[in-house]
Amino acid sequence: MSLYYFHTADGIKTLDPTGTDLPDLASVHIELVHIARELLNLGHSRQAWKGEPWKVWTTDQPNGAGRTIASIEISASWKD
């Protein structure tokens, strides 16, 4: 098991100081998708519709430091 740190930027950057203990990279990918889906369900995609992409990413060190393991970035555009 290793600690992975999950961070979000959706108009406001939130950095994970404590981490989540997960057994492998497959578990990291599942958790990353879960967090992104949760943000969409909670309406945090408003920033993406304004042309400001938001991002969920995980690192191997707290507070956004260290190596990025995986990330999801969402942006949207509105065409009239």
Which of the four pLDDT bands, split at 50, 70 and 90, describes residue 38? Answer: confident
Choice between 22 and 47, residue whose per-residue pLDDT is larger: 22
Give the single-character DSSP code of 31: H
Choice between 27 and 47, residue whose per-residue pLDDT is larger: 27
pTM of the model: 0.84
Closest alpha carbon to 54 in 42, 67, 69, 66: 42
